[in-house]
Amino acid sequence: MLHNQAELVRGASAQALSKARQNLPHTVFIDLTQHLLTLVEQHIGMPRWRGLRVVAADASDVRLTTRDATRRVIQFAKVFALYLPGVEMMLHATLYGTDTGERQMLFEHLDLLGKNDLLVLDRGYPASWLMAALQMRAIHFCMRIDSIGGAAVTTFLRSGAGEAIVTLPPPNRPDASDYENEQPRSKLRGILKQRELMI
């Protein structure tokens, strides 16, 4: 293109840019996110709690609208995300069908976490197999639990103690087999906070 200049200037029209964007693989956003997180770590620093990077996990229902040749198509899905609250950034996000549970989504992302992370989970995640899986991978976690945690949780809640070591039952055999959990029982520190149990 010529912009009132004596030499050519390379440029792209809006139409060409839109066409090129359609061929962009989704994996490029994963690479860009990792590059951005590396820059944040190098130049700003990642906030830490007692030396651990805090990572929050959650899933939300979303409605997606796409177009085919003749009409709009509305689809329902779930988006699962690992979020870094200290820098207000996403570590990773993935779309799922509505038939996938939040615990399964988290399990599929455990390789993104390590022993220097503190995973924060809401009350939708408690399960003995998941806690065993986190302990086997040496991933620190804080999870809200209510009375569905079984007899050990109920006993602790009724005790009136502020904190205690709680021994949770082992995963059942199908879960232990499906999720390759070898740990028979989970011993966790329970903290009572505003009448809710944190594990």
pLDDT at site 72: 79
170 with 194, same domain: the answer is yes
pLDDT at site 195: 54
Residues 10-21 as b or e (16 or more Cβ within 10 Å = b): eeeeeeeeeeee
Query: In this predicted model, which residue has the larger pLDDT, 57 or 167?
Result: 57
Which of the residue ranges 48-57, 162-171, 186-195 would you say has the lowest mean pLDDT? 186-195
Assess if residue 88 is contained within a domain.
Answer: yes
Provide the token pair at 195. 């009448």
Residues 157-168 as b or e (16 or more Cβ within 10 Å = b): beeeeeebebeb
Assess if residue 5 is contained within a domain.
Answer: no
> What does R_g of the chain's alpha carbons equal in angstroms?
23
The Cα 177–Cα 169 span in angstroms is: 16
- Could you tell me the pLDDT band of residue 131, with boundaries at 50, 70 and 90? confident
In the chain, the number of structural domains is: 2
pLDDT at site 185: 66
* Domain containing residue 128: CATH number: 3.30.420
Assess if residue 93 is contained within a domain.
Answer: yes
- DSSP state at residue 110: G
Query: In this predicted model, which residue has the larger pLDDT, 175 or 131?
Result: 131
Report the percent of the chain where pLDDT is more than 90. 22
Query: Can you give the residue range of the structural domain that contains 141?
Result: 46-198
58 with 28, same domain: the answer is no
Assess if residue 7 is contained within a domain.
Answer: no
Neighbours of 150 (CB within 10 A): 14
Assess if residue 4 is contained within a domain.
Answer: no
Q: Is residue 68 scored above 50 in pLDDT?
A: yes
Which of the residue ranges 49-53, 96-100, 192-196 would you say has the lowest mean pLDDT? 192-196
Assess if residue 111 is contained within a domain.
Answer: yes
22 with 98, same domain: the answer is no
Assess if residue 61 is contained within a domain.
Answer: yes
